[in-house]
Each structure stands twice: as structure tokens, then as C-alpha cells.
Amino acid sequence: MDDFEKAVYSVRFLSADAVEKAKSGHPGTPMALAGIAVDIFTRHLRYDPKEPGWPNRDRFVLSCGHASMLLYSMLHLAGYDLSLDELKNFRQWGSKTPGHPEHGLAPGVETTTGPLGQGVGNAVGFALAGKLAGARLNESGSSVIDYRVFALASDGDLMEGVASEASSIAGHLGLDNLIVVYDDNKITIDGSTNLAFSEDVGKRYEAYGWFVQHVDGLKPDEVRAALDKAVANKGKPSLIVAKTIIGIGLPTRAGTSKAHGMAATQPEIDGAKNAAGWTLEPFYVAPEARALFERRAAENRKVRDAWEKLVAGLPADRADAYKKLTTRFVPDNVFDELLAVAKGLKPDATRNLASTIEQKVAALVPSLVGGAADLNESTKTDVKDSASVKRGEFGGKNLHFGIREHGMAAINNGLALSGFFIPLGSSFLIFTDYCRPSIRLSALMEQQVLHVFTHDSVFLGEDGPTHQPIEQLASLRLIPNLDVVRPADAMECAAAWTHALTRRHGPTLIALSRQKVPALERAADFDPKVMFDGAYVLADAKDPEITIVATGSEVHVAVDAKKKLEAKGKRVRVVSAPCWEAFLRKPKDAQRAVLGKGAKIVTVEAGRTLGWSGALGGDGLHIGIDRFGASAPWEKIAEELGFTGDAVAARISAEL
């Protein structure tokens, strides 16, 4: 056995041993892919375990996150701060080695994977980020950013639509810094892939415009040759279809679904170790394996040193661009800048107001890139003075995702994780349903991703119930660590953008109206900062008996209702509540002060009342929409569904 083989067996058995100790997990795929992973890590991957955030490191993505022990084993051998004890603590409370890799726990875990297909999308995002950053930072052949992305994907990853969408985009853009190895093992949880998966994956990827190779994934020579070709290939992303045997070496379980999602059993592991002439000692790492990785570390240190010199020698303008991009610079006075834009705007749909403000954001924040899932004409999120990103032309800020919301959001997670960009994705609010798994992951990974969704209520009008969000605002507010902001006018749009840009450890979703909304009057002494409280008194009354809380395009309806009620002698406060999450983070006392002690609460929002109200009752009158929408001009819908100042005032008079 040479050092390479010893490394491979070390990884295989580390993985199997850890799963066995946890009595749960996936041993078979790490065993099958160990050789490919060792080849990538020891012959190709540029990394520095002491500096996991090195901007130009190659990215390694384990899209088949259930094979997490493969990644943990590799990171341990590669010298990252992940001890053998952590490997022994696999899948336990408080460990750095959870069942699926979680970004932010073990260093070197580039992204959180497990929900299948997402890692492929993230890998496309990483690759795109490398191209975008390179176009901004490289000059005359220099290689400030020229990293490559290596991803391992399973059958499941490539069955998922999100991977199809992202792969089509990668082919379209010719992301030749992306290499995906597909573990073609013909086995899934339920048995043979023949049950449901007989397509020609390689041909499909050729159709996407990828460079496709087929190898025996258990023959090191074939794997090496294919990886070398893929790295050298220009103009296309690479797919290497690698035939493997799941649980290779296990005496009876190899090549069966029993090697997939459960501990292999000690006799099986011992049998495999005996057959390989390996020690039965659990968690054994061959010294030759460590030596192999140390040699790679020495090579990588040279690469890193050369790179550091390159960056240290950058001319001032490039150095500034580098610093701004790698810190995702946002100026301290961004709110003042955006407010100044907002103050010059006439009443309009909030999508248009936000769009104008975004132009300023793009000028202030070099890290902002993004686009729409083919609805830019409606979401208005393009940066007007910047180019579209195309194959070979990565200098622009505008991305075109096609009609692929899920791929968009998964790619944006990769763009954010790259460390260079604050990505923006946009579509209609209803289509958050199409990309919800990726939105959730942006929240779980605490990534600064901007989800900008327009047409945020039934008041989009004629497109009808298939396009009209009813439950989407409420359901998005349920995702932990996602802030949902629904601004009511230009000033709130400026606050929403500022909120999103300064919120560094989580995604923000901005919901915007299709329809025009009137200007809101504000008191002369209005302090704009109060908007960051999430809910604030917009229009007050002395000793209010009723407080109407509203969001977005319903705030002006609340203001109108207040007028109608005041004409009848009622004392009414209006609270604009653009962001629940910010409001609910305030102390209870502060919340109560805004809502008005003793005032009866009325909420007005064109969406589900559940969430505003509790399921089992509670105080307050909640005016919303608890049915599917309807196709008609929006003013007609507002009238029919009771979203006018008159109708709201009448309900309050009748029901409070």
C-alpha cells in the first residue's frame, strides 16, 4: 500500500468507525468516495487550514451532506482544527460534527449541506463568485482570485430540480472553475436507482453545456486523469461521472442500500479492515496518511505565500477594491445616503421606490450583485448603469437566473458564502415557495442574502390566485433568523435597504408592492431611526383607544381608516410595522409603548391573519385574507375584500 492508499483507507475507516460509534449515519458513501476526495485534497485543492477564510482558497463542497464523515475525515487529515475527539463525537449534542455538515461549526465546512441538490447550487454560486471577483480584482494576468470549486454530488443531488436549474445556469455561463464529481453508485435509500432513475446523466449535462467524463471512481489512475483534464479544461464546467460501489469493502453490504443510511455493524467493518490488512483499532490514522497531507500542506503554504505577496503588491485602487469586496463594505452613513434619495421620490409602487434606492446602494456597495428569475421587468431589481453578467464577461452586477427561483436562491447562498458578495435575488413573493429550502438555508447559515420579492399581495391584481400571495408573508416570518421587511413608502424602503445591508448575520427578505401607494404624512419631528424598531407610531392620537397596526401597502389604508374613525370621535393611533422580527426583539415594555397601553389592537395586512392572531384566540381584531385570492383589477379586489379606509373603519366600528 502506498501513502495514497493508506490515506484512502484511513478516511474510509475513520468514517465507518464514527458512524458505528454514533450508531447512526451514512458509512457507505464516504467509503466509496474516499479515494476521489483524497486525490482532490492532496493533488489539487489549495487551502490553508490555519486560515480557513483565505479568500482565494479552492472551495470543496460535499453536496451529498449525509456523507458528512467523509468531509470531517478530510478536514481532520488536512490539518483543520477538528480533532479526532470531535470525530468520535459525531452526531452528538454540542459537537462540531453534526449529522450533516453545518457551516460555522467545523472550520473548512464551506456550506451547510444535507437537503439534496443545494450543495450543487452553492457550488455554482462559489464558482460564479470566483469569476465575478476575478473580473473585479485580477489585472493583466494576475491571479488575485482564481480559485476552483470541487464538489461531490450523489444521485439524489442530481435528481433534485434545484441542481438541474443551477447546472443549466453554470453551463450557460461557462463556469470552467467548477468541477463536480458525480457518485454514480446506482443505490439510494430505497434500493437500486433503477426504481426511479434511468436517465443518461452525462448526456443531460452535455445538454447543459458541461464537459463530461466517465470514469471508474474506484480506479485512482482514471480518477486522476479525469481530474487533471477537468482542471485543465477551459470554457465549460466539468462533470465527472464516477462509477463507485457504496460501502466498498464491507463483506456483505457493499453495493447495497444497506450500506447507505445506517451504521455498517462492527462485523462488517472488521471484515472490511481484515480484508484490507488494516488494524481493527477504531479511529486509526496511518502515519503515512498524515505525511501525505503534510506534504500537500507544504505545497499549499508556498502557493499561499506567493499569493500574499501578490496581494501585498496590489496598486492602491485594486487594494481598495480588494478590501471593499472582502469586507463587503457598506459605508457608515448608508442610511443618510439612502434617505436623501428617498426624500426626492414621488409616491409610487414600493417596487419602484426600492428600485430607485437600489441604484444608490449599487453605487455605495461594490459587493452588491444580483438579479431576477426572469422577472426583472416586474421586480425592477437591475442596476441600471451596470452590465449583465454573461459567459466570459463577469464585470457586471446584473445576474440573469432565468425562470429558476430555486437555483437562484441556492446560487446566491454560494455567492454570499464566498465572502465577496451581498447577493440579491428577486421574483414575485408567491415564488418564495419555489425557493423556500434555499431561503431557509440562508437563515440557518446566517448568510447576508437579500431576497427582494415584489407583487406582495392580492393587489397584484389580474394574475389571480396562482400568483397572489396569501400565506407567504406569515410563512416567511416563521423561518428563524430571516427578517421580513415590508415597507410602506419611500422612507421605509430606505430603512429596509439599510436594514438589509447592515444585517450581517442573516438574510433579509424585502416584500414590495406592485401597485402604487400614496405618500404617508409624517410628523415634523419624525426621527427616521425609529423605523428600525420594526414597528413605530406613524400617526398618533392623544390617549388612543384604538391602535391600528399595518404593514406595507395597507398602512395608508390604516391612515385613511383613522381619519374616518376620528370623524366619529374615536381616538386612533396608527402603527406602521415593516418588520415583525425587529419589533419582537425589542423589550416587552418598548413593544407595549408602541402599541399603546390600554388601546384595543387592530391589525391590517393583506394576508393570513393567523400569526397576527393566535390559533386559540386572544385579543384584537385582525383584518386580513384567509382565503385564496381572485383575478381582477386590484382596486376591485381591494373593494371586494374590504381593504379600503371606509371598509376597515366600518369593521372596527362594528366589531370593537
Site for a copy of itself in 610-629 (CB under 8 A): 610-620, 622, 626-628
Among 243, 318, 324, 436, binds a copy of itself (CB under 8 A): 436
Q: Considering beta carbons, is residue 163 or 325 the nearer one to a copy of itself?
A: 163
How many residues sit in the footprint of a copy of itself (CB under 8 A)? 120
Q: How far apart are CA 370 and CA 192, in angstroms?
A: 40
**Minimum CB–partner distance for residue 588 and a copy of itself (Å):** 8
**Minimum CB–partner distance for residue 190 and a copy of itself (Å):** 5
Task: Take residue 638 and report the three cell numbers written for it.
Answer: 381591494
Choices 27-35, 42-50, 126-134, 478-486; region in contact with a copy of itself by CB under 8 A: 478-486
What are the catalytic residues? 405
User: Edge-to-edge strand order for the sheet containing 149-154?
Assistant: 59-62, 149-154, 178-184, 238-243, 211-216
**CA dihedral of residues 217, 111, 449, 321 (deg, nearest 10):** -90
Among 58, 86, 165, 456, binds a copy of itself (CB under 8 A): 165
Q: How far apart are CA 383 and CA 426, in angstroms?
A: 13
**Minimum CB–partner distance for residue 332 and a copy of itself (Å):** 31
Kindly give the pairing relationship between strand 368-372 and strand 450-454: unpaired
Helix then strand then coil, in percent of the chain rounded to 5, is 45, 15, 40
**Minimum CB–partner distance for residue 86 and a copy of itself (Å):** 13
Cα 112 from chain centroid (whole Å): 10
Sites for a copy of itself among residues 525-554 (CB under 8 A): 549
199 part of the interface to a copy of itself, by CB under 8 A: yes
Q: Are 126 and 77 in contact (CB under 8 A)?
A: no
359 part of the interface to a copy of itself, by CB under 8 A: no
Q: Considering beta carbons, is residue 529 or 627 the nearer one to a copy of itself?
A: 627
**Minimum CB–partner distance for residue 30 and a copy of itself (Å):** 16
* Cα–Cα separations (whole angstroms), residue 622 to 43, 197, 533, 573, 652: 62, 48, 22, 16, 10
Q: Considering beta carbons, is residue 187 or 501 the nearer one to a copy of itself?
A: 187
For residue 349, the tally of other CB atoms under 10 A from its CB is: 19
Q: Are 454 and 400 in contact (CB under 8 A)?
A: no
Q: Considering beta carbons, is residue 159 or 345 the nearer one to a copy of itself?
A: 159
Sites for a copy of itself among residues 202-241 (CB under 8 A): 202-204, 206-209
Among 406, 451, 455, 514, binds a copy of itself (CB under 8 A): 406
Q: How far apart are CA 501 and CA 547, in angstroms?
A: 31
H/E run at residue 18: helix 3-22
Q: Are 602 and 652 in contact (CB under 8 A)?
A: yes
Task: Take residue 433 and report the three cell numbers written for it.
Answer: 415557495
Sites for a copy of itself among residues 573-592 (CB under 8 A): 580, 584, 591
Cα 108 from chain centroid (whole Å): 18
**Minimum CB–partner distance for residue 1 and a copy of itself (Å):** 33
Q: How far apart are CA 618 and CA 221, in angstroms?
A: 68
Q: Are 60 and 40 in contact (CB under 8 A)?
A: yes
Q: Considering beta carbons, is residue 528 or 578 the nearer one to a copy of itself?
A: 578
Among 52, 251, 347, 437, binds a copy of itself (CB under 8 A): 437
Q: Are 69 and 14 in contact (CB under 8 A)?
A: yes
Sites for a copy of itself among residues 103-142 (CB under 8 A): 112-116
Q: Considering beta carbons, is residue 44 or 66 the nearer one to a copy of itself?
A: 66
Sites for a copy of itself among residues 255-294 (CB under 8 A): 257, 261
Among 601, 623, 638, 652, binds a copy of itself (CB under 8 A): 601
Task: Take residue 153 and report the three cell numbers written for it.
Answer: 454530488
463 part of the interface to a copy of itself, by CB under 8 A: yes
Sites for a copy of itself among residues 297-316 (CB under 8 A): none
Choices 163-171, 313-321, 342-350, 503-511; region in contact with a copy of itself by CB under 8 A: 163-171
DSSP summary character for residue 117: T
Q: Are 407 and 391 in contact (CB under 8 A)?
A: no
Site track for a copy of itself across 27-66, x = CB under 8 A: --------------------------------------x-
Q: Considering beta carbons, is residue 272 or 476 the nearer one to a copy of itself?
A: 476
